[in-house]
Amino acid sequence: MTTAAELPAPISVLPAGLTFRMVEVLTHPSSFYPVHPGRYVVEGVGPWDAASPEVCTDLSNKGVWLSDGVNEVLVCPGCGLDCT
Ligand SMILES: [Zn+2]
């Protein structure tokens, strides 16, 4: 179990008002590849249908852009995983 303090820094810079759920994400059903270290679920919007990316049922591969006009992040609409 990786503790929050040991997790890699997030890859993306979030729009204002949003935060990352600092829990390691290992897999996402829509991807053949493991989730890249530093990608986390975005919180502050949602709620997301899936409790975590590992059980996400959105296989559309169509992300949703969240932006504050300065920073933007692309998230999975099913679970909120950062896939920018
Ligand atoms: Zn998802």
Domain that holds residue 5: 1-84
Query: Per the structure, how many domains does the chain have?
Result: 1
Is residue 82 classed as helix, strand or coil in its secondary structure? strand
pLDDT the model gives residue 31: 76
pTM for the whole thing? 0.89
CA 5 – ligand 1 centroid, Å: 24
CA 69 – ligand 1 centroid, Å: 24
| Residue 5, pLDDT above cutoff 80 | no
CA 70 – ligand 1 centroid, Å: 24
pLDDT in tens, 23-65: 999 999 987 778 999 999 999 998 999 999 999 999 888 899 9
DSSP per-residue codes, 41-77: EEESS---SSSSGGG----S---EEEE-SS-EEEE-T
